[in-house]
């Protein structure tokens, strides 16, 4: 569930992180 939190933080911060991108792809596939 940490991935969801990371994505939210990434969106707020507007920063690109490898883990954040992976989480977005994973959530996108779901």
Total domains in the chain come to 1
* pLDDT of amino acid 18: 63
* pLDDT of amino acid 20: 67
Residue span of the structural domain in which 9 resides: 1-30
* pLDDT of amino acid 2: 65
DSSP states of the chain: -HHHHHHHHHHHHT---HHHHHHHHHHHH-
The whole model's pTM is what? Answer: 0.27
The string of pLDDT tens digits covering residues 1-30 is 566 777 676 666 555 566 667 777 777 766
Both ends of the chain: CA-CA distance in Å? 14
């Amino acid at each position: 569930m940490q991935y969801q939190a990371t994505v939210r933080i990434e969106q707020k911060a507007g920063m690109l992180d490898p883990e954040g991108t992976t989480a977005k792809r994973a959530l996108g596939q779901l």
